[in-house]
Structure 1
C-alpha cells in the first residue's frame, strides 16, 4: 500500500517566513543529523529498543495463529482488559480494519473496556455469556490499578459461572518472568503470552497484546506483520531527507521552536479515528519530559489533540484557523474508499442539491479536507498530510 507524507504546507513558500520552514535548511538539518540516526540504530542493534524486531518474530506469529485457531470456536465473546498502551493499539487495529458494526453479526464479539467506569463495565454483561467469553488480561507488571480492578470485577462473574475452572476463560499477556499476573498463573493453569522486557507498553501492539484480538476478529496478522516490515524499511532509510519518520520528527521539532506546541491529528476517515486516539498517547508519553538527558529541567512536550474530519470542521476548525497560531495539524487522507458510489438527487425540485449529484461521499470528504487544508494554509497555519491509498 502506498503511503506518502506531504509537508509542502509547512514550508515558507506556502505559509511565509515567520511560520514556515526553509526547504534548504530542512535538507541541511537532515544531512547533519546522522548522529541521531546512528544512535537510534545502535539502540536497535544492541537490543535496547526491542519493538523494531517484533514484525519479524515468526515464532510468535505461529504461536498466536495456533492459539487463536484452537480457541475461536470455544468463545462467543472477547473482553480485552488493559489500559493505555495495552489497549489503544489493539483498539486502533480493530476499528480501522474491521467493520464499525462488527459486533452486530460477527463472533467473537469484541469488547475493549479500557476504563474503570462501573456503569460501562456493567453494561457489557447483558451482551456476553461469561461461560463463553475469553478475558484477555494485559499488563506487564500486573499491578496497574485499573487493569487489576477490572480483572477482579470480572472474576466475580467468572467464578459464579465456572467455579474453580475460571482459569479456562483467562489469558494473560505479561512480563516474561516478573509481575503479579505471573504469580496468579503459577497458582492456576492460565495460558500466558509474553511482552519482551525491551519492549515498552506503548510500542507493544505487535506482541500478543495486539495480535491476539486482531487474529480472533479475522484480521490477517501475517499480512499485518508484512506491512510493518515494509514500513520499517521505509522509515529506516539512511537518507534522512527521504525518511518520512525522520522528516515528520524534524518538522515538529522545528515547529515547536516557533511556538507550535499543539499537534493536531485529524483523519478524514472514521476508520482512522482511533489511530488519532492512539497517536495522542504515543506522542504525549514519548515527548512529555520534565528533564532532558543531561538532567536539566526543561518541561518540554507538544500537546497532542485529536480531531475528526469532516465532523470537527463544525466544532474545532474555526479555532485552528482563527485562534492562536500555536498548532501544527496532520491530516490523514484516504485515496480510495471501499464503497463510494455516486449520489443521485432524488428531489429534483430541490435544485440546491444538484451540485451533489454525480459526486461520491468519498469525493465530498476529501474535498472538505482540501478546503480545510487550504483555509489553514491561507491563514499561515502549518499543516501536513499523510496520504494512504486505502484502509
Structure 2
C-alpha cells in the first residue's frame, strides 16, 4: 500500500488521480481493506478470463456458453483475433483508398459506431471533410450513418454526396475546356468514388441495414457519374452458421472483415470493427494496440494500488454501494473526447446495468452514466453536480500536453477583465477551470477523479479505452453480475419486430 493515496502513475505518464475520491469524507482506505478478499477473487476471475476466455455463468443471448475474448485483442500474434496478417490486410486496405476513393460512409450502431467515432474524432477532428485531399494525405472523407433511424439526416447525406459528385464532374470538365464533361466522366476523370462500409454481425440490424439500403440504392442510381463500392464487416462464419450479411457479401463479391466471436460490440473498437475505420483515415493502429497492451500488462498485478483498472473499479463500486454515488458523470476536458464519453455510456450501461446477479437474485445494479464536456458543461450541468443530490461521481479526463496551444492575446488592453487572462495559453486556462471544478466539488464532499493523458494520441487513447473496458470486467466480479451480456436490450427487440411487420401489412 503506497504511503500517499493520491495518484497512480504508469511508466507512459498516464495518471489516475484519485485524490478527490479517496480520503476523509470520501471512500476510505478501510473500505478498500474490507474489500481485499473480494478484490483478490475478482482479480483471479479476470486473470482466468484473460487466459481462457471463460467467465463464470456467462451465456450468449441464445443461452449457450460463450467465451469473452476482448483481452486478446491488444496482442497481435499468429492465431489471435488480431494477427500480423490481419493487421497487414487492414493497412493494405487503407492504403488502397488513398487517392482512389473520395468518400467513405461507415454504417453501424452501438459498438459498431461509437468506438469508430472515437478514432475519427481523435485523429481527424471536426474539419477533416473540409480539408483538401493533400491535407488528408490522400485519405478519403469519412461520414457515419446507420447509427440512428433518422430520415432527414439520411436524405441530406445522400444529397451531400450527390453534390460532391457533381462538383467533381464539373471540375474534371473544366480541366480540359476542349473536352465534353460527360466524356470526361465516362473516361473516369470525374467519377466520384464512394466506399460504403456496412458493419453488422448478423446483417439484420434494423438501424444499420435500413440506412445502408436507402443510401446504396440512391447512390447506385447515379452511375456512371458516381462509383459505389461496398465492404462488409460481419460474422466470418460460412456454411450452416452463415449470417445474412456474410451471404449477401459473398453473393455480391464484396470484400469482408470480421466481427469476431467472443467480442461484444462495446469492446470491439480494438478489433477489425473499429480498426477498419482506423485504416480509412491513417490512424496509427500499431500505437493504439500498443497502448491497450501496455495498460493490460499494468493491470496484471494483484496489488489494487498498482492496478489501474482494479483500483478504478473498486473506488467506483464502493462509492456506489457504500455512499450512494450511483451516477457517473464522464467529463473530458477536450472537445474531441466527447465521443469517448458517449462510447463509455454504452460500455457502462450495457455491462453493469443488470436486474439480477449471477444467482438470479434481483439487485438492479449499475451506475447511470452521463456525458459532460469541459467548460461547456460547467456552464450547463455543474449547478446540479455542485448543489444537487450527492449521488454522483464525476470522472474528469485531462490532456497534459496539447499539440497546438494558442496564447490568449492582450487584444483589448483597456478592458481590465480581458487583460487579466491575456498571456495565458488556452490549455492553462482550460485546466485551471477543471481544477477549480474538482476542488469545488471536493469541498462539499462530492466525489471526483481525473484520468490524465500525457498527450492526445493513439497510444494514450488505447490506454484509456482499455482501462475502462477492463474496469467493467473487475466491477462485474465485485457486484457478482455478468458484465458481458445485455438481456435488457432484447426486451424492445422482441416487440419491435412484430410492430414493423404490422406496419408493413
State the TM bucket, normalised to the shorter chain.
over 0.9
Shift of residue 70, structure 1, vs aligned partner: 2.0
Contact 1:262 1:326 in 2 (8 A): yes
Contact 1:131 1:162 in 2 (8 A): no
Give 5+ residue unaligned stretches, structure 2. 1-11, 54-66, 76-81, 166-190, 457-505
Cα RMSD, aligned residues only: 1.8
Alpha-carbon distance in structure 2 between the residues aligned to 1:76 and 1:88 = 23
Shift of residue 31, structure 1, vs aligned partner: 6.0
* Mean CA deviation greater in 92-101 or 75-84: 92-101
| Structure 2 match to 1:10 | 21
Q: Equivalences for 1:220-235 in 2 at 5 Å?
A: 220-235=284-299
Shift of residue 241, structure 1, vs aligned partner: 2.3
Q: Deviations over 1:86-142 (max 9, x none)?
A: 100010111022232111113411111221211111111233249511110001111
Alpha-carbon distance in structure 1 between the residues aligned to 2:412 and 2:250 = 68
Q: Residue 288 in 1 paired to residue 353 in 2?
A: yes
Shift of residue 46, structure 1, vs aligned partner: 1.4
Q: Residue 196 in 1 paired to residue 260 in 2?
A: yes
Q: Residue 141 in 1 paired to residue 152 in 2?
A: no
* Mean CA deviation greater in 62-71 or 86-95: 62-71
Q: Equivalences for 1:118-133 in 2 at 5 Å?
A: 118-128=151-161, 129=165, 131-133=192-194
SS in 2 for 1:293: coil
Contact 1:195 1:207 in 2 (8 A): yes
Contact 1:195 1:208 in 2 (8 A): yes
Contact 1:140 1:201 in 2 (8 A): no
Q: Residue 61 in 1 paired to residue 121 in 2?
A: no
Q: Equivalences for 1:1-391 in 2 at 5 Å?
A: 1-13=12-24, 16=25, 20-27=26-33, 29-30=35-36, 32-47=38-53, 48-56=67-75, 57=82, 58-105=84-131, 106=136, 107-113=139-145, 114-128=147-161, 129=165, 131-162=192-223, 169-177=229-237, 178-257=242-321, 258-391=323-456
The aligned length equals 384
* Mean CA deviation greater in 326-335 or 117-126: 117-126
Q: Deviations over 1:332-381 (max 9, x none)?
A: 01111111132221111112222112111111100000000011001110
* Higher Cα radius of gyration: 2
SS in 2 for 1:12: coil
| Structure 1 match to 2:462 | none
Alpha-carbon distance in structure 2 between the residues aligned to 1:351 and 1:71 = 53
Query: When the two structures are superposed, what TM-score results if normalisation uses the length of structure 2?
Result: 0.73
Shift of residue 157, structure 1, vs aligned partner: 1.8
SS in 1 for 2:348: helix
Shift of residue 199, structure 1, vs aligned partner: 1.0
Contact 1:268 1:309 in 2 (8 A): yes
* Mean CA deviation greater in 215-224 or 265-274: 215-224
Alpha-carbon distance in structure 1 between the residues aligned to 2:113 and 2:129 = 18
Query: When the two structures are superposed, what TM-score results if normalisation uses the length of structure 1?
Result: 0.94
Q: Deviations over 1:214-239 (max 9, x none)?
A: 12112121222222211211233332
SS in 1 for 2:455: coil
Alpha-carbon distance in structure 2 between the residues aligned to 1:341 and 1:159 = 45
Contact 2:31 2:318 in 1 (8 A): no
Contact 2:93 2:279 in 1 (8 A): no
SS in 2 for 1:148: helix
Alpha-carbon distance in structure 1 between the residues aligned to 2:324 and 2:31 = 18
Q: Deviations over 1:295-338 (max 9, x none)?
A: 11222211000001111111100100001001001000111111
Contact 1:267 1:276 in 2 (8 A): yes
* Mean CA deviation greater in 83-92 or 60-69: 60-69
Give 5+ residue unaligned stretches, structure 1. none
* Mean CA deviation greater in 177-186 or 129-138: 129-138
